[in-house]
Amino acid sequence: MTYMQLTYLHLGTLAPAFVIGTYLLLNRKGTPAHRLLGKIYMVLMLFTSIVTLFMEAVIGPLFLNHFGYIHLLSLFVIYTVPTAYTAIRSGNIGVHRRKMIGLYVGALLVAGSFTLTPGRLMHSWLFG
């Protein structure tokens, strides 16, 4: 896949994940809808983080001629999603809550703000 195809795939999974994640944070927890949307959210976040591993870093130093610091957030997601799922399956609501809030803030808000920095594709699309 080309970089642009990967970018569109990434945005195509990230946008619904952002909407679902926001809904989940703002609404009642533990309902059947929350559980179903939570699973969809987790799959979307895992998929989009895996897609980013195939996208070469374009800013900053490269590791292995491909990865940049932003890829650390992808690894964060790949670690956090299964551990949050395991926590809720074992009844540890507090750990699940902390991990899911951390996932939303770290992977969507922080990483999203990085994409708006000069030199990044989203910055050029939004600000010319």
| pLDDT band (50, 70, 90) for residue 63 | confident
Give me the pLDDT at residue 87, please: 98
Give me the pLDDT at residue 36, please: 98
- The answer, yes or no, to whether residue 117 has pLDDT greater than 90, is no
Give me the pLDDT at residue 12, please: 94
Strand partners, 71: none
In this predicted model, what pLDDT tens digit does every residue of 25-54 receive, in sequence order? 999 999 999 999 999 999 999 999 999 999
Chain-centroid distance, C-alpha 122:
16
Mean pLDDT across 70-87: 95
Residues whose CB falls within 8 Å of the CB of residue 53, separated by 6 or more in sequence, listed in order: 67, 71, 74
State the alpha helices, DSSP H only, in the chain: 3-26, 32-53, 71-89, 93-103, 111-114, 121-127
Q: Which residue has the higher pLDDT, 120 or 92?
A: 92
Give me the pLDDT at residue 45, please: 97
